[in-house]
């Protein structure tokens, strides 16, 4: 294992760009730098996230802030943004470039929003969807929309691809938030219950709060001073597993995937890219890490 | 005073872009977003720098990290990068856009370099010039070079403008490093001697080390454990003022300014922009804050 291995993921986002670019004029010379750009922007945000959350492990590997301190992590993230920016510049497509920067603005203001709402228990489902749309789905939408733009897709097709990316991204983040409760540290590559520990209210904990208004461990973590956090997190995980809420969350994620796939109907049908994008949607809800 | 006032500077960088764009086809519609982009990139790097240096004051105002914590400062910096990126995208000029991202890469790797060489006393003048070229002068060069690019200047003129920006930026940083010793907190808007306190070796302290090999307060700050830093900083300031080194540093800064102005010779002469750029070079070495 080498430095930064924890930041190498499944490559879903660049795959989305390449697949989204296959419906019209598949221009690999432009799609490849775009795909690299999307993945590097993602990596840069992870490096900054880890510095902010003071996380020490990602995908079973030490984080940059753990290895070199948060100061180097800030600068390393900035450097990765610059490399992402160079790649998107290589597309020489002003619309894709503008969208890239615009998306970085949405992601960072989404992260500020999440930071400011930490340990705030009064959040609605709409707040949640808005928050994960900003911090996660907007990058999926950038990946798919630029695939359309760079392959000269007509506007309705570009709209469909963006919508697919948006809904896929929301489903992806919901599954991420479920796994934070239902997985284990070995599979996840980081401690379970991190969201609760950091005071980030996600869909499972929201539903838990609604279903058990009294003696709720989530409420205890968020509102009680001097609470034994690790114990309450364990309690929340046990309660969630017996509550039926996991299934409910998966149903909501599946619903977003269905809406993602429905958005593909405007694209040329019967192609292998259609199938691949639908397959990716199914993968997102089935994944275990 | 409102939040962020400490980040509003003299506007030298955007002025450089607008002036550099005046020699050929002055295209304000492209030069204005470029100038905004350069200034916002500068601001973003300041916000991240303050978070890294844990500075609490800038230009007499509280820093973002002081007001909201370093986590928000990281995200705020990222947001400012995104806005800078949107502005440069508005130029729709692939070369300027690529140069923008490339420069961000140089700045952030320059900052990593500075961070890694903190409290390292074995640095040569060449190391110093390379370091300040990366962290400061590269942005001045971006400002002037894009002025040339966006006004359709011929290649030798673009080269001249970049060279002017580079040398001006070096002179600017040398003066900055002098003022950190010779100014006072009220004028500077931050504590004097910050560089020494953070273990950043600058030109004045390098020359001080060379001139006084024995009992040197800079060496004490950098190498002695448990040293009384504020006292040694005061000592270094007194020693520097009586050493003649300040004049020597100014001579070096003036020399860079002269080389900056010489690079303008390839540009159409007798214009007001020539005069303005030469005037700016003079201003940079005469400035007090």
Q: Which chain B residues contact residue A105 at CB under 8 A?
A: 79, 82-83, 86
Distance from CA of A275 to the nearest CA of B (A): 34
Distance, in Å, from the CA atom of B78 to the CA atom of A108, rounded to the nearest integer, reads 6
Mean pLDDT for back-to-back runs of 10 residues, chain B (289 residues) = 78 96 97 98 96 90 94 96 97 96 95 89 94 96 98 98 98 96 86 90 96 93 89 93 94 97 94 92 85
Strand partners, B57: B62
Q: Would you give per-residue pLDDT tens digits along chain A (289 residues)?
A: 577 788 888 899 999 999 999 999 999 999 999 999 999 999 999 999 999 999 999 988 999 999 999 999 999 999 999 999 999 999 999 999 999 999 999 999 999 988 888 999 999 999 999 999 999 999 999 999 999 999 999 999 999 999 999 999 999 999 999 999 999 888 888 888 989 998 999 999 999 999 999 989 999 999 988 889 899 999 999 999 899 999 999 999 999 999 999 999 999 988 889 999 999 999 988 887 7
* Neighbouring C-beta atoms of residue B271, cutoff 10 Å: 13
CB spacing of A97 vs B97 below 8 angstroms: yes
Cβ proximity of A148 and A25 under 8 Å: no
* Neighbouring C-beta atoms of residue A222, cutoff 10 Å: 20
Q: Which chain B residues contact residue A112 at CB under 8 A?
A: 72, 75-76, 79
Distance, in Å, from the CA atom of B189 to the CA atom of B183, rounded to the nearest integer, reads 10
Distance, in Å, from the CA atom of B104 to the CA atom of A87, rounded to the nearest integer, reads 13
Distance, in Å, from the CA atom of A135 to the CA atom of A140, rounded to the nearest integer, reads 10
Strand partners, A174: none
Q: Residue holding tokens 């930026």?
A: B169
CA distances B246 to A232, B122, B175, B204, B210, Å, are 62, 21, 10, 7, 14
Select the residue of B48, B79, B94 nearest A92 (Cβ to Cβ). B94
* Neighbouring C-beta atoms of residue B289, cutoff 10 Å: 13
Look up the pTM and report it: 0.93
Report residue B113 as tokens.
Answer: 């370099």
Select the residue of B48, B79, B94 nearest A108 (Cβ to Cβ). B79
Task: Output the DSSP codes for A209-264.
Answer: HHH--SS-HHHHHHH-TT--HHHHHHHHHHHHHTTTHHHHHHHHHHHHHHHHHHGG
Q: Which chain B residues contact residue A81 at CB under 8 A?
A: 78, 81, 104
Distance, in Å, from the CA atom of B138 to the CA atom of A240, rounded to the nearest integer, reads 54
Query: What's the pLDDT score for residue A156?
Result: 98
Report residue B255 as tokens.
Answer: 């020399």
Report residue A155 as tokens.
Answer: 């506007």
Cβ proximity of B112 and A79 under 8 Å: yes
User: 3-state class of B150 per DSSP?
Assistant: helix
Residue of chain A minimizing CA distance to B99: A86
Query: What's the pLDDT score for residue B85?
Result: 97
Distance, in Å, from the CA atom of B115 to the CA atom of B27, rounded to the nearest integer, reads 39
Which residues, at least 6 apart from A68, have a Cβ–Cβ distance to it below 8 Å? Answer: A76
Query: What's the pLDDT score for residue A1?
Result: 57
Distance from CA of B110 to the nearest CA of A (A): 9
Cβ proximity of A165 and A251 under 8 Å: no
C-alpha B210: how far from chain center: 24
Start-to-end CA distance of chain A, whole Å, equals: 19
Query: What's the pLDDT score for residue B261?
Result: 97
Q: Which chain B residues contact residue A84 at CB under 8 A?
A: 101
For chain A, how big is the Rg over CA atoms in Å? 19
Nearest to B289 by CA among B141, B186, B140, B146: B186
CA distances A131 to A174, A207, A254, B17, B233, Å, are 11, 16, 19, 37, 47
Distance, in Å, from the CA atom of B242 to the CA atom of B39, rounded to the nearest integer, reads 37
CA angle A275, A138, A256 (to 5 degrees): 50
Strand partners, B61: B58
Q: Which of B81, B93, B110, B131 to mutate to test the interface with A (most CBs of A within 10 A)?
A: B81
Distance, in Å, from the CA atom of A262 to the CA atom of B230, rounded to the nearest integer, reads 66
Which residues, at least 6 apart from B234, have a Cβ–Cβ distance to it below 8 Å? Answer: B193
CA angle B169, A76, B131 (to 5 degrees): 30
Cβ proximity of B32 and B150 under 8 Å: no
Query: What's the pLDDT score for residue B28?
Result: 97
Report residue A161 as tokens.
Answer: 């691809």
Which residues in B have their CB inside 8 Å of a CB on A? 45, 48, 51-52, 70-72, 74-79, 81-86, 88-90, 92, 94, 97-98, 100-105, 107-109, 111-112, 115
Strand partners, B62: B57
Own/partner pairs for A232-237, CB < 8 Å, 24+ apart? A232/A196, A233/A192, A233/A193, A233/A196, A233/A197, A234/A193, A236/A181, A236/A193, A236/A196, A236/A205, A236/A208, A237/A181, A237/A182, A237/A192, A237/A193
Distance from CA of A86 to the nearest CA of B (A): 5
CB spacing of A105 vs B98 below 8 angstroms: no
**Phi-psi region at B9: left, alpha or beta (left = phi > 0; alpha = psi -120 to 50):** beta
Distance, in Å, from the CA atom of B184 to the CA atom of B261, rounded to the nearest integer, reads 30
Select the residue of B82, B101, B112 nearest A105 (Cβ to Cβ). B82
Q: At what angle do helices B12-20 and B28-53 cross, to 10 degrees?
A: 150
């Amino acid at each position: 294992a080498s430095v930064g291995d924890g930041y190498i993921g499944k490559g879903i986002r660049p795959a989305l760009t390449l697949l989204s670019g296959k419906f019209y004029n598949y221009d690999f010379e432009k799609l490849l730098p775009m795909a690299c750009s999307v993945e590097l922007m993602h990596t840069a945000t992870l490096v900054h996230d880890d510095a902010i959350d003071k996380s020490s492990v990602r995908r079973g590997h030490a984080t940059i802030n753990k290895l070199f301190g948060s100061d180097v992590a800030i600068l390393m993230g900035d450097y990765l943004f610059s490399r992402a920016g160079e790649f998107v510049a290589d597309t020489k497509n002003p619309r894709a470039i503008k969208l890239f920067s615009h998306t970085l603005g949405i992601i960072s203001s989404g992260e500020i929003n999440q930071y400011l709402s930490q340990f705030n228990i009064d959040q609605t489902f709409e707040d949640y969807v808005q928050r994960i749309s900003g911090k996660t789905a907007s990058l999926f939408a950038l990946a798919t929309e630029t695939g359309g733009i760079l392959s000269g897709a007509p506007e309705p097709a570009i709209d469909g691809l963006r919508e697919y990316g948006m809904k896929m991204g929301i489903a992806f983040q919901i599954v991420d938030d479920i796994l934070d409760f239902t997985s284990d540290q070995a599979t996840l590559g980081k401690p379970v219950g991190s969201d609760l520990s950091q005071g980030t209210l996600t869909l499972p904990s929201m539903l838990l709060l609604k279903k058990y208004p009294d003696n709720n461990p989530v409420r205890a973590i968020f509102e009680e001073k001097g609470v034994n956090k690790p114990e309450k997190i364990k309690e929340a995980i046990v309660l969630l597993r017996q509550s039926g809420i996991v299934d409910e969350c998966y149903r909501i994620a599946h619903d977003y995937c269905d809406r993602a796939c429905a958005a593909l109907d405007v694209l040329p049908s019967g192609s292998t890219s259609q199938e691949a994008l639908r397959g990716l949607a199914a993968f997102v809800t089935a994944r275990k890490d």
